[in-house]
C-alpha cells in the first residue's frame, strides 16, 4: 500500500492484517532498499533506463529472501507492506515484480490538516510536513496543504502510469462503509472475505473505523490561491468536493 504520513492508512492496514494469508508489515524500507540496489547496479554497469537482466535478478532475489523471512514468521503465503516512499521506489519494485498490486491510499486535505494540527499543536518542526514550510513561514495550514498536494500528486501520477497495477482507495470510504470498502479490497486482492469476521468482534478486539475526534475548523484563506487551485483540481480527480474552501471553513 502506497500512502503518506497522516493519511489514516492504519485503518486499512489493520483490516488487511485480518487476512490469514497476508503477512502485513509497515515501514520496513524494503522498497527503498530495492530502489537503491537497482541504482547501484546501474552505476556499476554504467547504464541508464531499464536495469540489466542480471541486476534485476540479483535485486529480485534479495527482496524475495527478505519477504520469505517475513512470510515464514507470520505463517502467511503473501506479503503486504504499508509504505511511505517515493513513486520512483514503487516503480522500481514494479519492474522487479510486474504482478505486484499497489493500493494507492488517499485522504482529503481536510482530514490531513486536521490530524496534522492535532499531532503537532505547538509547531511542525520535526514533522513530515516541515520540509514544505520554507515557502510558507509561520503558516502551518499552507505548509500541510503543500505537503498534501505533493504527496497526492505523486500518487495520482503513479496510478496514471500503472493503471493495471493500482487500486485507488479513499479513507473516507472506509469510514463511511467499512464492510463494503474493505470487502472490495479483499476481492480485488483475491483474499478470503471470511477473514473479515474479525471486523465484527467487540470494538476493543477489532480495528476501529471511526474518527476519534472531530476535525477542527481551518481557515481556508491561509492557503495561497495558486495552491488552492491545484488542490481543487486534485480533489476533483479524487471525487472529493472541488471547492476546498467549503470543506475548511
The tens digit of pLDDT for each residue in 66-111 reads: 999 999 999 999 999 999 999 999 999 999 999 999 999 999 998 9
pLDDT(215) > 70: no
pLDDT of residue 200: 63
C-alpha cell at 133: 514550510
User: pLDDT tens, 16-65?
Assistant: 999 999 999 999 999 999 999 999 999 999 888 788 999 999 999 999 99
* Spatial distance between the Cα atoms of 8 and 82, rounded to a whole number of angstroms: 11
Nearest alpha-carbon partner for 171 in 239, 105, 232: 105
The whole-number average pLDDT for the span 220-243 is 87
Choose between 185 and 210: higher pLDDT: 185
Q: Which residues, including other chains, have CB under 8 Å from residue 150's CB and lie 6 or more apart?
A: 132
3-state secondary structure of 149: helix
* Spatial distance between the Cα atoms of 191 and 183, rounded to a whole number of angstroms: 9
C-alpha cell at 178: 467499512
pLDDT band at 197 (very low <50, low <70, confident <90, very high): confident
pLDDT of residue 248: 46
Q: What is the DSSP string of 1-59?
A: -B--TTS-THHHHHHHHT-TTEEEEES--HHHHHHHHHHHHHHHHT--SSPPHHHHHHH
Class of domain 10-248 (CATH, top level): alpha beta
Amino acid at each position: 500500500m502506497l500512502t503518506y504520513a497522516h493519511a489514516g492508512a492504519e485503518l486499512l492496514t489493520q483490516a488487511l492484517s485480518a487476512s490469514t494469508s497476508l503477512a502485513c508489515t509497515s515501514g520496513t524500507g524494503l522498497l527503498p532498499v530495492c530502489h537503491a540496489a537497482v541504482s547501484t547496479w546501474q552505476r556499476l554497469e554504467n547504464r541508464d533506463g531499464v536495469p540489466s537482466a542480471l541486476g534485476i535478478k540479483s535485486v529480485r532475489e534479495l527482496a524475495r529472501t527478505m519477504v520469505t523471512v517475513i512470510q515464514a514468521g507470520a505463517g502467511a503465503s503473501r506479503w503486504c507492506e504499508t509504505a511511505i516512499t517515493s513513486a520512483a521506489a514503487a516503480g522500481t519494485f514494479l519492474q522487479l515484480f510486474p504482478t505486484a498490486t499497489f493500493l494507492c491510499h488517499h485522504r482529503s486535505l481536510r482530514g490531513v490538516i486536521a490530524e496534522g494540527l492535532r499531532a503537532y499543536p505547538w509547531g511542525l518542526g520535526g514533522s513530515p510536513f516541515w520540509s514544505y514550510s520554507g515557502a510558507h513561514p509561520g503558516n502551518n495550514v499552507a505548509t500541510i496543504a503543500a505537503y498534501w498536494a505533493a504527496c497526492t500528486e505523486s500518487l495520482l501520477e503513479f496510478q496514471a502510469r500503472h493503471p493495471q497495477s493500482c487500486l485507488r482507495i479513499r479513507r473516507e470510504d472506509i469510514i463511511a462503509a467499512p464492510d463494503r470498502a474493505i470487502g472490495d479490497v479483499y476481492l480485488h486482492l483475491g483474499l478470503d472475505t471470511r477473514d473479515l469476521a474479525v471486523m465484527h468482534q467487540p470494538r476493543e478486539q477489532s480495528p476501529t473505523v471511526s474518527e476519534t475526534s472531530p476535525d477542527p475548523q481551518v481557515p481556508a484563506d491561509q492557503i495561497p490561491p495558486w495552491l488552492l487551485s491545484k488542490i481543487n483540481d486534485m480533489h476533483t480527480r479524487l471525487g472529493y468536493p472541488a471547492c476546498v474552501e467549503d470543506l475548511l471553513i
